A and B are shown apart, each in its own frame.
Chain A
């Protein structure tokens, strides 16, 4: 004799969304504008200070901007970045 349970799946279904590839990469960093973006959490300032210094030492003409904003970049900040920079690094201190 055997015992069978038939039970229901408790998981909420996730609406399938269109997935997208990342943006095309930069050919080179020389002469480019790069944003180093963080949410201001402890340590990101020091990480970016060192990273910015190393990047500018390696790539002549590279302009580096530090930017602090929301954990999830606000729409207006995102639009500004899209207009002003060629690439970015993003960190939230975790």
Chain B
């Protein structure tokens, strides 16, 4: 719908066609784009997805909407459509809401009913964000309540420190967690981060939120066995605070403009966990991103969830070796990534060349004992990245013409950065080994979990559909209640 509005604003009349399942999303997008009166024709989802396969099957549907399409292109605008509408009120309800009942239990129930009815909650009970409780949350940071971090899509709501504090209270967070929550929100509101795809896509994308450095331990985050799961207030409340903040500031709602068809597979809290640095083998992840090893940082990355988490074992079922785990990791990367070669050379889903297709980033969790074994084999993070990258390659002779054309197109368009072009030019000849990843930095290794542990990975597009980045690291700062993150 935004594309339709873009063309209309250039003075060309048009009409948008959308399925009824996506109608709320289309109407919302028209309003978000500044043209609520844009004309659109609604077709039955049940019918369209069934008949779209051939022209013969779809003909009756097209015939049924033909006059409407023509009419929307030619019928003069009504007085209502042609009027310059008033700008919409950007608030969503009063700043303060009062709930009064006979008992605490009734008031608590009414508060939760009201917030969920307004689409301000996530379906689980919320902690009431009273002014006192929000003030309590704000005491965890030096950042000013009215500081604006940025905006969040799809509806470009403004994220202030105070609004995030309201959502953090609702999530059950504590003020010492708040600097972590703010750093994660700094990333999601960053102008280069693709928040739209992860929050609104029909695919079930989610986030990982990784805290590295001493702050995680100081605020009681859990990084041992079960680290991705429930039972750990810091992990779970931080992830829930970010989820609620995206829901309320970006103003998403399932089926309305969050079009995940099976739902978000991290429905109430994003995967939030600390990197395990007790092994002492490697520097923390954020040191590989240019931060000081002694800093405390948050890394946020979009990950695909509806696809399988890739397991490389370790664990307790059988014996394992670091070499075997690495073999499985390499095989998985090659199997998943080699199919994408043709897409390297495509213009892209969005404005950025190659966006929404092509090679992935892989976020690999190594359990501490595995990291130790890899350390004994001589690997640090950069050496492991290079080793896996070099091994995750396909013989030139196995590439199709479309594969080669895709890679060459990617080089031409800059999807393969200029400093990597020579690697691929050298490989695209008989005897060459063609890497399935664009760069070793596409491999992100974290040390996480306990003993025994399991290695696994999640992955996502290296170039997201609607913006430049799907992974970012940010230093935590402004903390008032902890030594780290100050």
Contacts and interface: CB of A to CB of B under 8 A. Distances in A.
Interface of A: 1-29, 34, 37, 39, 42-44, 46-47, 49-51, 54-55, 58, 69-75, 78-79, 81-82, 85-94
Contacts of B59: 50
Given A12-B248, A19-B36, A21-B81, A7 B129 contact: yes
B447 interface: no
Contact of B90 (A7, A8, A16, A82): A16
A79 to B, nearest CB: 7
Interface stretch (B67-75, B266-274, B398-406): B67-75
Given A8-B95, A82-B11, A43 B85 contact: no
Nearest to A86: B12
Given A7-B97, A50-B59, A54-B62, A22 B91 contact: no
19 contacts: A5-B108, A5-B111, A5-B130, A7-B96, A7-B98, A9-B95, A9-B97, A11-B248, A12-B249, A14-B157, A16-B88, A25-B74, A37-B3, A47-B58, A49-B55, A72-B6, A78-B3, A89-B69, A94-B18
A55 B11 CA distance: 22
Nearest to B168: A10
Contact of B101 (A3, A13, A42): A3
B49 to A, nearest CB: 8
A72 B14 CA distance: 15
A44 to B, nearest CB: 8
Given A19-B87, A29-B73, A43-B52, A78 B66 contact: no
Interface residues of B, number: 108
A26 B70 CA distance: 10
Given A5-B98, A23-B13, A27-B74, A78 B6 contact: yes
A9 B107 CA distance: 16
A94 B74 contact: no
Given A22-B35, A90-B14, 11 more contacts: A3-B102, A6-B97, A8-B134, A9-B92, A9-B96, A19-B34, A19-B88, A22-B39, A24-B13, A29-B74, A82-B11
A55 B52 CA distance: 19
Given A21-B77, A24-B77, A43 B6 contact: no
